[in-house]
Amino acid sequence: MTCAATTRLRAFWGATKPVLLPCAGFLLFFSAYTLIAGYVGGLPVFLPAWRLEIPLLLYLFFYFRWITRPSRWRSVIAALPIFLAYVVFDAYHVLFGRLLRVIEVTELPEMFMVMPLLNKILLVFAVGVPMGIFMRAVQWRRFRPILWGAVPLLALLVAVEGLPSFFIAGFERLLKPIHWMSESEQAQLNGRLGMALYNEARRINSLEKTIAYRGDIRYLSAFDDAVEVVKDVKLKHNVHLIVLESFLDPNLLRNAHYSRNPAHPEFEAFFKGKAGLSISPVFGGSTAQAEFEVLCGVPAMRELAGIEFDVFTGAKTLCLSNVLDQAGYHTMATNAFYPDFFNATKAYEGLGFENIYYPSEYAPVGGSYFRTGDVTDEFFMFDGDLFSQNLAFVSDWIRQNPGKPLLNYIMTVYGHTPHLINLQKRPKVVDISGMGKLPDDQLERAVNQFYYRTEVLAAYVKGLVRIDPHSIIILVSDHLPSLTYGPNTYQELHYLDNSPDAIHLNRVYIIENGRPVRFETIHHYDIPRIILGYLTQDKVRHTLALKNENQKNEADLREQYLTVMAHAMDGKPIFSRFGYRKALAD
């Protein structure tokens, strides 16, 4: 090499060294971090995502270095917001087993509300300190560099929010194929930030297309037909549908050992091995997603919102409670937590509930038939207090309204993370061993809660059978609790022998005419069809009908989902036949 070439090379290295070395260190650090995160339950290493993710990260790192004050810690400070974003993605995956979406930022107030005080303090500290350090280091007086440096980022965001079809087409051409069966694989191949932007663009694009589904004749006619069939049934049966918050059956943790059976003897004796399994759309949180499936009969696909209920406007849509309401049922929803948590009130109105009840402590205006009772040291309303008041209310209602059928829907809240239990009222009755490398206080509390919850559930179900023997009663867990270590705890303790997608399998109990019956594994979105089958056909036929419905392909389910959501987000009448007749009759 000539002296001139050597000189030029040294000059080039001297000019680029201040940039190349920090960037190399940045990529090395993030490679190590994502490798470690993948081993502890986070998303996988990001190195395959070199088409968009790595250039985007390098741009952000370089931009943040450019706008912060020169110092020996400049590179560390510039990396803080990016590292924090990655930690959030991985923590979300550890706790909930899925990839965070941009729209789910709207869920933060609800998540923050149900956190224990210590967790709230730690969260504010963990987010506030690094962001405070970064914001203090920004040279705010250098307005032009800040503005011009942000142009590529703003252009990307404009493409996602304003030109979603253009962004999706470019993303799918440039990046690796999207494998919808594995969100972890999506994040590995196309990046955490890249997939977040892509999912947001898909959501906006789907929103623009929903108007075409508001007149979907196929599903409008099917909805009308379902109403007419239920209307024509001579002897109408009541429906009691109870969604149980984080109802984990400890006996499904094969490697855990207990000092006694965690299920109460009365509960065990009643169901006698008839417990079934239902696939929830979520793990560890987002109860409203499970509610959506249980009440609407379609998968919660998160195409239009991170939580479907969040975009309900109160407009009527094609769901079970609307079918029953239009067929002459009295429909009532009881929710044991705060009004409008996950936009519940508007969602319940759109679903077709005539009466919506919350605890009188949380909703003093409007009237309610129940109170939370003593929540000392537990925060969340105990199932026994809720069920006893509901049983008394339903008993009086049935007596005062002979011949009027009823949909009695309940959403419980006891058992929510962190599984607080008042040991004065509910002493510890079950010891757990065999937890291996992941001892979990939350699991121990959840196991003892299960004992007391099954005790009051047995009493409640027997009470319903006594006052309403010819009815259908369904108890279903919304999702498994995340506990302390998310899916790792379930894998360590061999939940359902670590079968595929085990963390989405939840207990379901079905009682028809006073007797428990067991189905093969179902989805939460099969429950409306089970109910409608019971109300309109004999058991053999509706079991077969359920199997036929399960043969629907993904395109059919998506079309039905978009039709349901299009009407939920619209203020116009949806009923193509009977709705107009009802309006004229009124």
DSSP string, 247-271: ---GGGBTT-EESS-SS-HHHHHHH
The proportion of the chain whose per-residue pLDDT surpasses 70, expressed as a percent, equals 85
Of the pLDDT bands very low, low, confident and very high (cuts 50, 70, 90), residue 3 is low
Of the candidate ranges 134-148, 390-404, 504-518, 561-575, the one whose mean pLDDT is the lowest: 561-575
**DSSP letters of 161-200?**
HH-HHHHHHHHHHHSPPP-TT-HHHHHHHH-HHHHHHHHH
Mean per-residue pLDDT, 90-117: 70
Of the pLDDT bands very low, low, confident and very high (cuts 50, 70, 90), residue 541 is very low
Rounded to whole angstroms, how far apart are CA atoms 275 and 510?
8
Kindly state the tokens that stand for 92: 């979300």
pTM of the model: 0.69
Mean per-residue pLDDT, 439-457: 92
Answer yes or no: is pLDDT of 32 > 60.
yes
The residue ranges of every structural domain in the chain are 19-210, 227-550
Mean per-residue pLDDT, 161-166: 82
pLDDT greater at residue 43 or residue 103: 43
Mean per-residue pLDDT, 480-499: 88
Q: Of the candidates 204, 245, 196, which has an alpha carbon nearest to the alpha carbon of residue 93?
A: 196
- Highest mean pLDDT (candidates 3-17, 44-58, 200-214): 44-58
At residue 407, φ and ψ (nearest 5 deg) are: -110, 115
| CA-to-CA dists, residue 272 to 258, 265, 457, 518, 548, angstroms | 20, 10, 15, 10, 28
What mean pLDDT value characterizes the chain? 82
Mean per-residue pLDDT, 312-327: 86
- The reported pLDDT for the residue numbered 159 is 87
- The reported pLDDT for the residue numbered 296 is 92
- The reported pLDDT for the residue numbered 576 is 38
Q: Are 76 and 126 in contact (CB under 8 A)?
A: no
Answer yes or no: is pLDDT of 101 > 90.
no
- The reported pLDDT for the residue numbered 563 is 85
Mean per-residue pLDDT, 312-338: 88
Q: Is the peptide bond between 262 and the residue preceding it cis, with omega within 30 degrees of 0?
A: no
Is CATH 3.40.720.10 what the domain over 227-550 is classified as, yes or no?
yes
